[in-house]
Amino acid sequence: MTEKRISRWYFGGIASCGAACCTHPLDLLKVHLQTQQEVKMRMTGMALHVVRSDGFFALYNGLSASLFRQMTYSLTRFAIYETVRDKLAGQGPLPFYQKVLLGAFGGFTGGFIGTPADMVNVRMQNDMKLPAELRRNYAHALDGMFRVWREEGLRKLFSGATMASSRGALVTVGQLACYDQAKQLVLSTGFLSDNIFTHFLSSFIAGGCATFLCQPLDVLKTRLMNSKGEYRGVIHCIVETGKLGPLAFYKGFVPAAIRLVPHTILTFVFLEQLRKNFGIKVIA
């Protein structure tokens, strides 16, 4: 018999918060690029524009909403995926298709629960692009959620929930299911052990898969959440975005990958360290 450690249900949320603190500026730049009606700036130009206009710390606008999102969206999806996976795994790893189904369910649920925080996050990040008289000026995530509820109604808090939930399902399949499968394949070669390099390599693969799967939905979700009523619904948003050309659905793909791949790597490196040092001991 061998002893191993499994994650506690909240480790995924904590690990995601740690990763978000490191990658938030990249997420902010991604939102700015996606909400351009025309491609006027690339990533470096946008970063310089933000710093020149509002200062270096403007790159961290909306950080409270980003952390709140991780403690709703990511905590939920990790808790569902890892808890159910560990219960079903028994004496061996789950087949890949079961990981995909479980990841899709966990991600869809987490995406819906995290929609209010995600919407406030997008608005806070994009606020500096608006004229001074049109800025919402949310003090923090909870202030933003309260004001949306008071000024626009409860339903508005779940604006873009369909896109957020669908994206959550795809990105969780790309991250969690693909990470588990990549790690399993890497370890099965016998060349690497369960160490930080294995975690890095597996999470790099997972981050690439997640970016490819979720980018079109991420663009639509961002546009819906940041809209001021110009879209009548998801289909109308798809049509209007499509008028800009097929590549409009992959607007901001490079910064999305530059943000999501490091975020995925950091999340799983932090998660594996939490599991190794503070996880629940079990006998296998």
Q: What is the pLDDT of residues 52-86, one digit of tens each?
A: 887 888 888 878 888 998 999 999 999 999 999 98
Give the residue-averaged pLDDT of 32-50. 72
Q: Could you tell me which of 238, 256, 258, 251 has the C-alpha nearest to residue 39?
A: 251
CATH of residue 76? 1.50.40.10
CB 188 within 8 A of CB 96: no
DSSP, res 73: I
The CA distance from 106 to 55, in Å, is: 38
Residue with tokens 């939490």: 274
Provide the 3-class DSSP secondary structure of residue 282.
strand
Residues in Cβ contact with 268 at an 8 Å cutoff, skipping those fewer than 6 apart:
15, 179, 199, 202, 203, 206
Provide the domain limits for residue 21.
Answer: 3-283
Q: How many domains does the chain have?
A: 1
When mean pLDDT is compared over 89-103, 104-118, 127-141, 221-235, the highest value belongs to 104-118
pLDDT at 64: 85
Query: C-alpha 237: how far from its chain's center?
Result: 21
Cα–Cα distance list, 256 to 177, 180, 260 (Å): 20, 22, 6
pLDDT at 184: 94
Please give the residue that has the higher pLDDT: either 179 or 37.
179
- Mean residue pLDDT of the chain comes to 86
- The confidence score (pLDDT) of residue 35 equals 67
Is 36's pLDDT higher than 90?
no
DSSP letter string, 1-52: --EEEE--TTHHHHHHHHHHHHHHHHHHHHHHHHT-SS----HHHHHHHHHH
